[in-house]
Amino acid sequence: MTEPGRASVSFADVGYDEAMRRARALVPALRERADRAELGRQMAAETLDDLHRTGLFRFHQPRRWGGMELDFVALFDVPAEIARGCASTGWNVANLGVHHWMLALYDERAQEEIWGKNPDALIASGIAYPQGSGRRVDGGLVVSGFWNFSSGVDASDWNMLAVMVRDGERVVGSPHVSGAEERLRDRRRLDHARHAQHRLQVGPREGRVRA
């Protein structure tokens, strides 16, 4: 979870070459922490601080929110460089970084809710397949469920979660739900949480929605 009171910094002037230089510079420290990350099953606090300080979580975030907004190739190149020091950290940077790109496809109000309050906010996900259930209500969805896999969730403020929406026995959609961390009992569970329509987004497959 992003440290409260952290002063937000803009990385809008950081280009691809500088981002790669910053990633390379972290490799020795990440290599030293790799065993600890493996044993702890999460990124070390120092690693999180380094990635926030250098802006490397925000390589895909739009510039208007202070991100680098690098070309899509950065999704492969930046994590691959970081993975030279720690493969697990490389995966988390790729996974958490692409969620900034995904949030940029959402309604502007959803972006404002997250980045307007904290541009450094990290977003985990459980969207590979829908493990929760959703019920349509006026203005959005009520969502419940438990997602057994969500990389980077311990460091994240928000989560994108896939759910199945039914109308009686008929499946009418498979949304992804963005939920605030304080609503997640163990950060992977939602119990009758209400989500507004602007947090929903239709995905690339018919009947599949991100929320």
The CATH number of 16-104, from 3.40.190.10, 2.70.98.40, 3.10.100.10, 1.10.540.10, is 1.10.540.10
DSSP 85: T
Q: What per-residue confidence (pLDDT) applies to 149?
A: 75
Q: Which superfamily is assigned to 123-210 in CATH?
A: Butyryl-CoA Dehydrogenase, subunit A, domain 2 (2.40.110.10)
pLDDT digits (tens, 9 = 90+) for 18-29: 999 999 999 999
CA distance 14 to 17: 8
Topology alike, domains 16-104 and 123-210: no
Q: What per-residue confidence (pLDDT) applies to 137?
A: 76
Q: What per-residue confidence (pLDDT) applies to 183?
A: 38
* Helices and strands in the chain: count of H runs, count of E runs: 5, 9
Q: Is the pLDDT of residue 120 over 80?
A: yes
Stronger pLDDT, 174 or 127, i.e. the higher one: 127
Label residue 107 by pLDDT band (50, 70, 90).
Answer: confident
CA distance 103 to 211: 10
Q: Which is it for strands 176-180 and 170-173: parallel, antiparallel or unpaired?
A: unpaired
